[in-house]
Amino acid sequence: MPITLTPGKLIVESAYPDPPFELMEDGKATGFDIELMRVVCGELGLQLEPRAYAGDDFNGIFDGLARGTCDAVISGTTITPERSARVLFSEPYLEFNQGIAVNQRVTPQAATTADLRGLTAGIQSGNTSDLVAKRLLAERHIAAIRYYPYHGIATALDDLEARRIGLIIKLFPVISWLVRGRVDLRVAMQVATREQLGIAFAKGRADLCAAVEGAIRTLRGNGTVARLEAQWLAPRAGA
pLDDT above 90: residue 27: no
Type and span of the H or E element at 95: strand 94-103
Q: Write the pLDDT tens digit of every residue in 72-91.
A: 999 999 999 999 999 999 99
Among 64-73, 131-140, 226-235, which is the least confidently predicted range?
A: 226-235
pLDDT above 80: residue 34: yes
Q: Does domain 97-193 have CATH number 3.40.640.10?
A: no
| pLDDT attached to residue 235 | 61
Q: Write the pLDDT tens digit of every residue in 99-141.
A: 999 999 999 999 999 999 999 999 999 999 999 999 999 999 9
Residue type, position 12, single letter: V
Give the chain's mean pLDDT: 95
**Mean pLDDT of all residues in 51-75:** 96
pLDDT above 50: residue 190: yes
d(Cα 134, Cα 33) in Å, to the nearest integer?
28
| pLDDT attached to residue 238 | 37
Region(s) of the chain under CATH 3.40.190.10? 9-93+198-232, 97-193
pLDDT above 60: residue 239: no
| pLDDT attached to residue 204 | 94
| pLDDT attached to residue 23 | 95
d(Cα 143, Cα 35) in Å, to the nearest integer?
39
168 with 155: CB under 8 angstroms? no
**Mean pLDDT of all residues in 87-99:** 97
Q: Write the pLDDT tens digit of every residue in 195-217.
A: 999 999 999 999 999 999 999 99
d(Cα 107, Cα 94) in Å, to the nearest integer?
31
pLDDT above 90: residue 1: no
109 with 88: CB under 8 angstroms? no
Strand order in the sheet with 185-197: 144-148, 120-124, 167-171, 94-103, 185-197
CATH node for 9-93+198-232: 3.40.190.10
| pLDDT attached to residue 234 | 81
